[in-house]
Amino acid sequence: MTDQKTLAYINLYAVLGALENLCDLVPEASEALTNKKPLSIGFDVKGGPKATLTFYNGKCRMDQGCGKCDVKLPFATCEKFNGLIDGTVTPIPSKGFTHIGFLLKDFTTLTDILNKYMRPTEEDLKDPAFMRINTELTLYVVGVAIAQVGNQDEIGKFSASHIVDGSIMISIKDGPAVEIACKDHHLLCYKRKPEKYRCQMEFADFETANALFGGRVNAMNCIGNGSVGMHGLNGMLDNVNRILDRVSLYLA
């Protein structure tokens, strides 16, 4: 079972938050942004998450809250916001109607590109460059989703309550990494390699990470054959892996 509030936090911070990385990794995405001045979209979910995406010079940045934004999209419930992500709800801005063209054109084009990379076909993944971008984006989405599930989902919070303070690194060898930082059982994800960490889960290569994220190989087999390395405090890793099992339900 999953809940709509946790899903809303994942959809905003993990899924839409991946637009930051998409614009850095995919020239097509950066070129889709035609605004000449900074333009920000605030997402205000009643009883749920609030964040602002700012677009400028082909880049995207996400910030907490939506007090200062050019366009504001209010959602009465977490379910309504989740409907935006699955395409069943069309939001009506409460602020910024003059920027409706950006929403309908640039922003929609950007989310379509994100969807292409996050829900690839088998043919897409045969392209090594596409596969690497898909893998890196998925790593970031999964990392942020781990933090949201650990903070919002009841089963996830139980696992987080057994994680000691410190950082966990989830990485691809010679590639990108995320830091899951725990403080008083509250989790934060940073899309970077931590300077210090208490444990690490490392994929041997992009191919291994992609196959695991796509459910095409068994995690225990990968640990057994050494293509996934686990180092450091086992207790932290065990509980993060339990949260990761919950993440897979929300991202399915």
At 135-192, the pLDDT tens digits run 999 999 999 999 999 999 999 999 999 999 999 999 999 999 999 999 999 999 999 9
At 184-202, the pLDDT tens digits run 999 999 999 999 999 999 9
All domains in the chain, ordered by first residue: 4-118 (3.30.1050.10), 141-251 (3.30.1050.10)
Place of tokens 């082909």: 58
Q: Where are the beta strands (DSSP E) in 83-194?
A: 166-172, 177-183, 186-190
Residue 67 clears pLDDT 80, i.e. is over it: yes
Beta-carbon count within 10 A of 1 CB: 6
Average pLDDT along the chain: 95
Residue 2 clears pLDDT 90, i.e. is over it: no
CA distance 62 to 54: 6
Confidence (pLDDT) at 217: 86
Contact 185, 139 (CB under 8 A): no
Q: What is the pTM of this model?
A: 0.96
Place of tokens 């889709």: 32
At 74-83, the pLDDT tens digits run 999 999 999 9
Backbone φ, ψ for residue 167 (5° rounding): -115, 145
CA 217 to mean position of chain CA atoms: 22
As a whole number, mean pLDDT of residues 27-32 equals 96
